[in-house]
Amino acid sequence: QKESYSPEETTADYMLKDMMQRMNSQQTDSQNRVSLLPEGVQMNYSVEEDVLVVNFNSQYSSMSRARELLVRAGVVKTFLQVP
């Protein structure tokens, strides 16, 4: 089941910060869904000439290939919601 997202503000800056914070929180929700990022994996971002650059910490490289693929797909799908 998809999680709906209704930001308090619809500016790109606010949405990027909010989404990043939510993904980095690594908490399970009331329906026991698994966090997008495995424990220990954190990410940050910067915007360079209208391009979103996402960086992960070193724990990213310890994920299995399957989990890495799912994480990348989830991050891309999440950030594509930003106007």
Q: Which amino acid is at 9?
A: E
pLDDT higher than threshold 80 for residue 40: yes
State the pLDDT at residue 30. Answer: 57
Rounded Cα distance between 36 and 27, Å, is 9
Would you say how long the chain is, in residues?
83
Give pLDDT tens digits for 12-31: 999 999 999 988 986 665 56
Average pLDDT of span 28-57: 86
Domain assignments of the chain as residue spans, ordered by start: 12-79
Please, which residues have CB within 8 angstroms of residue 43's CB and are 6 or more apart in sequence?
Answer: 20, 23, 24, 37, 54, 55, 56, 57, 60, 75
CA angle centred on 68, ends 23 and 66, rounded to 5°: 130
Rounded Cα distance between 72 and 31, Å, is 23
pTM, entire model:
0.80
